Amino acid sequence: MPLTFPELPDWSFDADEVSAGVYRAFGHDCSGRTVEVSGLDPEALIQKCRQAAIELIAKTHPKADLSKRDKQMQRRNWSTLYWLTIRDVSTSLDMTVEF
């Protein structure tokens, strides 16, 4: 069942198991922008996608206000290896980050 977050009203997020114990989490908005992460913990992956969506909005709308919790999440260190792909359809750019 897709998840939504109050600070991202146009976005929905979900995760699928793509292999034994390996998950792909993804999110998309009504404009067609998507974020996607692969890894081992589906709940953490959805949170990573949520954070990526917030960062994508902040990049496209520099005056977007981030809550205190969102700023703390930006500074959080994650110990699991993730791949994050962000696609901004307005500029047709993909960005993949390994962390």
pLDDT digits (tens, 9 = 90+) for 19-39: 999 999 999 999 899 999 999
The mean per-residue pLDDT over the stretch 44-62 comes to 88
Q: Report the SS3 class of residue 7.
A: coil
In this prediction, residue 58 carries a pLDDT of 84
Could you give the 3-state DSSP secondary structure of residue 1?
A: coil
**Confidence label for 78 from pLDDT (cuts 50, 70 and 90):** very low
Band of residue 80 on the pLDDT scale cut at 50, 70, 90: very low
Distance, CA of 64 to CA of 35 (rounded, Å): 18
Q: How far is CA 83 from CA 7, 13, 63, in A?
A: 23, 16, 27
